[in-house]
Amino acid sequence: MEPRESSRAAPFLAGVFTAGIIGVVLVVALILEISPRIVRGRLFKGPDIELSAAFIDELTRVGALVANADNPTGAREHDTLLVQPDSRLGYTLRPGARIDAYMMPAGNALNLDPPVVYLPTGTELSPALASHLERESDRFYQYEVDARGQRRTLPLVRSDRKILMVGDSAMFGVGDEHTIASWLQLQLGDRAEGVNAGVGGYDGARAVAVARSLSDETRYDALVYVAHHNDFEREDHYSVSLAGEIVDAFSALAGRFEGGVVVATVPYMEYVSRGLFRQYGFRSGLIESSHELWRELPALVATAGFGYVDGVALVRSHVRRGGSVFAPLALYADHAHLSPRGNRLLAKQIHTRLSHGKE
């Protein structure tokens, strides 16, 4: 009996073994299929936006811009409803531009840099498209560029004492009343006028050029440079030497600002939330160079005699108070730009540094 039972069991065990092998192969194949999407930085990519061909055609006709979605309306680079070409800086803000913005859900649920539909304020849309944008958007906001080609700051204040603020889209902000400049203006009151000269896509060198150009024309009491994480990106890493070059360039202008210079930093959310994202948020090597950048930058700024607002420390403090690894998410509108709360906290520290002057 035993030999006959063993002979009957052998095919069964072989079948189980084969099924197990197939299962392992399928799991490995699934891992290999999923992992490259994450490790190669596709955590923030994937299907960009779900819009019908008819909606895209209509958006194209009205001159809309769809950001973070491979430009489905075919907008011209650096010549759009928001920006215009400039021979020296590449592009500048278009004076008088008024924009409606709809932050849309991405096709990929893990996309932390979602698509945004930008329209000229007051654009007449078909009922179907208007209803779709209102119903599907996760957030609606508006912003305006003044006649000088600078970002609108609220409340509106005009003063002989002016604070110049330069940087990229982190400085430019989302929603007129919730920018870093507007939160700072609330604290300044009518004692000084905050001037938001931030432009999306600018780097540190362009921020220096803007500060130089505007201070050639107008006297400013103080300068604030909002330095975003990617201002210091060089090839495949974040560069301390590049940060030093940018600080040195601002140092050459420091004598123009009697009230001093303040550097305020905005790190990527995936860096300050790396306990959640780990290696999936950054390409290989960017975590290590980010560590070095944020460790060395305070000393570079201090050597130049500038005030410093540490965005990394700000987020860490918020996490400790909140008692949750999810706390950083409340400070960001997306993976790169601060939320109204984040901008308010950063502006409060900027105001403190301006009040203290050089240290």
Are residues 200 and 139 both part of a single domain?
no
Q: DSSP secondary structure string, 296-341?
A: HHHHHHHHTT-EEE-HHHHHHHHHHHHTSTTGGGGGBSSSSSB-HH
Cα dihedral 157, 332, 322, 311, rounded to 10, equals -70
Are residues 161 and 79 both part of a single domain?
no
Are residues 136 and 163 both part of a single domain?
no
pLDDT of residue 278: 67
Query: Residue 126 sits in which domain range?
Result: 53-143
* pLDDT at residue 10 tops 70: no
pLDDT of residue 280: 66
pTM of the model: 0.85
Secondary structure class of 205 (helix, strand, coil): helix
Mean pLDDT taken over the chain: 86
Beta strands in 189-277 (DSSP E): 193-196, 222-228, 233-234, 237-238, 261-266
Are residues 289 and 219 both part of a single domain?
yes
Give how many domains the chain has, as a whole number: 2
Q: Is residue 189 part of a domain?
A: yes
- For 258-283, b/e burial (b = at least 16 CB within 10 A) is ebbbbbbbbbbbbbbbbeebeebbbe
Beta strands in the chain (DSSP E): 65-67, 83-86, 90-93, 98-103, 116-120, 139-144, 162-167, 193-196, 222-228, 233-234, 237-238, 261-266, 307-309
Are residues 185 and 299 both part of a single domain?
yes
What CATH number is associated with residue 157? Answer: 3.40.50.1110
pLDDT of residue 325: 83
CA angle, 267 as apex, 263 and 268 as ends, to 5°? 155
The residue written with tokens 């103080």 in the block is 222
Taking CA atoms, 39 is separated from 26, 31, 42, 244, in Å, by: 20, 12, 7, 30
Are residues 135 and 185 both part of a single domain?
no
pLDDT of residue 163: 98
Backbone angles phi, psi at 240, to 5 degrees: -65, -35
Q: Is residue 233 part of a domain?
A: yes
Question: Which segment of 48-57, 81-90, 190-199 scores lowest on mean pLDDT?
Answer: 48-57
Round to whole Å and give the CA distance between 246 and 20: 58
The pLDDT confidence band at residue 150, using thresholds 50, 70 and 90, is: very high
Domain endpoint, select from 143, 175, 204: 143
Round to whole Å and give the CA distance between 358 and 60: 50
Are residues 166 and 193 both part of a single domain?
yes
Are residues 69 and 87 both part of a single domain?
yes
The residue written with tokens 């860490």 in the block is 316
Round to whole Å and give the CA distance between 269 and 329: 7
pLDDT of residue 35: 36
Are residues 113 and 186 both part of a single domain?
no
Q: Is residue 40 part of a domain?
A: no
